[in-house]
Amino acid sequence: MDGMTDQIASPTLTTGVAAPEYDWDSYGFDTRQVHAGEYDELTYGARVSPVYLSAAYRFDSFRQAKNRFSGEEAGQLYSRNLNPTNQVAEHRIASLEGGAGALVVGSGQAAVTSALLGLAGAGDRIVSAASIYSGTRLLFERTLSRLGVTVDYVWSPSDESEWDALITPDTRALFVETIPNPKNDIIDLDVISRVASRHGIPLVVDNTIATPYLIRPIEHGANIVVHSATKFLTGHGTTVSGVIIDAGNFDWEGTSRPYPALTATPVAGHRSLVEAFGPRAFEMHVRLGVANDTGPALSPLAGFLLHQGIETLSLRVQRHLDNAHRIATWLSRHPDVESVDYAGLDGHPLKPLADRDYRGTPGSVFSFTIAGGAVAAERFFDALRVFSRMTNIGDTRSMALHPATTTHLGFTQEMRDRLGIADGLIRLSVGIEDVADLLADLDQAIAVARR
Are 309 and 233 in contact by the 8 Å Cβ rule? The answer is: yes
With a cut of 70, say whether residue 72 has pLDDT above it: yes
With a cut of 50, say whether residue 440 has pLDDT above it: yes
Asked whether the CA dihedral 56, 58, 63, 64 is positive or negative, the reply is negative
Asked whether the CA dihedral 125, 227, 368, 349 is positive or negative, the reply is positive
CA contacts within 13 A on the Cβ side of 32: 18
Could you please state the CATH topology (level 3) that the domain comprising 62-310 is classified under: Aspartate Aminotransferase; domain 2 (3.40.640)
With a cut of 60, say whether residue 7 has pLDDT above it: no
Angstrom CA distances, 80 to 290, 299, 338, 389, stand at 11, 9, 49, 34
For 242-285, the pLDDT digits (tens) are: 999 999 999 999 999 999 999 998 777 778 999 989 999 999 99
All CATH 3.90.1150.10 domain ranges of the chain, comma separated, are 313-450
- Pick the range with the lowest mean pLDDT from 45-59, 60-74, 356-370: 60-74
All CATH 3.40.640.10 domain ranges of the chain, comma separated, are 62-310
Please give the pLDDT value at position 3. 42
With a cut of 80, say whether residue 406 has pLDDT above it: yes
- Rounded to whole angstroms, the Cα distance separating 299 from 85 reads 9
102: left (phi > 0), else alpha (psi -120 to 50), else beta? beta
With a cut of 80, say whether residue 148 has pLDDT above it: yes
- Rounded to whole angstroms, the Cα distance separating 363 from 300 reads 29
Please give the pLDDT value at position 4. 37
Q: Identify the three-state secondary structure at position 379.
A: helix
pLDDT above 90 coverage of the chain, percent: 85
Average pLDDT over residues 155-159: 97
pLDDT above 70 coverage of the chain, percent: 96
The rounded mean pLDDT for the chain is 93
Average pLDDT over residues 146-152: 98
- Rounded to whole angstroms, the Cα distance separating 230 from 146 reads 27
CA contacts within 13 A on the Cβ side of 170: 10
More confident residue, 184 or 45: 184
Largest CA distance in the chain: 83
For 334-378, the pLDDT digits (tens) are: 999 999 999 999 999 999 999 999 999 999 999 999 999 999 999
With a cut of 90, say whether residue 33 has pLDDT above it: yes
Are 39 and 49 in contact by the 8 Å Cβ rule? The answer is: yes
Mention every residue, 6+ apart, whose C-beta is less than 8 A from residue 276.
71, 72, 270, 284
pLDDT band at 11 (very low <50, low <70, confident <90, very high): low
Q: Identify the three-state secondary structure at position 377.
A: helix
Q: Taking the domain 313-450, which CATH number applies?
A: 3.90.1150.10
Helix (H), strand (E) counts: the chain: 18, 12
